[in-house]
Amino acid sequence: MSMNRRSVVKAIAAGGALVGASVLMPRIAMAAWTTKAFEAEDQATAMNELLGGAAEESAEVTLKAPDIAENGAVVPVTVRSSMAGVESMSIFVENNPNPLVAEFMIPAGTDADVSTRLRMGKTSKVTAVVKANGKLYSASKEVKVTIGGCGG
């Protein structure tokens, strides 16, 4: 890969020179039927509305998130899966007022690997759900949000 990191970042910013860059804009593709899912106030409802059920934990879903958020307003999260037939990847923050954060559609032939930033008001479990071949798989991790400093 001859492109250096800066060019990659610039390319993304410049409007998606990379295959799969369009997955960075999930809400644009949001269909009317997802509104209920994004507006749901508890995770089970959101998951049910969006994906039609609950997911089973799988080691083939990788969720990368910090143990403690440096800044709750922009918590970096990466979801990856090496499974075949991935159709979508969605992210939930259980303790957010609206737990569903994003759904990424993964077109056939695309690496199932997305990174985004979440806003988190307080410590919460973060769950990534991968839909592959019609089935739901998940991975979760608790991310701590602290007031910071030493309380002084």
Nearer residue to another protein within complex by CB, 10 or 119? 10
CB of 64 to another protein, least distance (A): 9
Which of 66, 85, 107, 121 contacts another protein by CB under 8 A?
A: 66
Number of residues that bind another protein (CB under 8 A): 21
Is residue 59 a contact residue for another protein (CB under 8 A)? no
Which of 97, 109, 134, 149 contacts another protein by CB under 8 A?
A: 149
In the sheet that holds 135-143, the strands lie side by side as 56-57, 135-143, 124-132, 86-93, 100-105
**Maximum Cα–Cα distance across the chain:** 52
Is residue 84 a contact residue for another protein (CB under 8 A)? no
Secondary structure (DSSP) of 50-109: HHSS--EE-TTEEEE--SB-S-TTSEEEEEEE--TTEEEEEEEETTSSS-EEEEEE--TT
Which of 60, 68, 85, 119 contacts another protein by CB under 8 A?
A: 68
From residue 87, give the alpha-carbon distance in Å to each of 33, 45, 76, 122, 134.
17, 20, 22, 30, 8
Residue where the block lists tokens 């969605």: 90
Nearer residue to another protein within complex by CB, 13 or 19? 13
Nearer residue to another protein within complex by CB, 14 or 54? 14
Which of 25, 54, 85, 144 contacts another protein by CB under 8 A?
A: 144
Nearer residue to another protein within complex by CB, 87 or 113? 113
SS3 state of residue 123: coil
**Site residues (CB under 8 A) for another protein?**
4-6, 9-10, 13, 66-71, 123, 144, 146-152
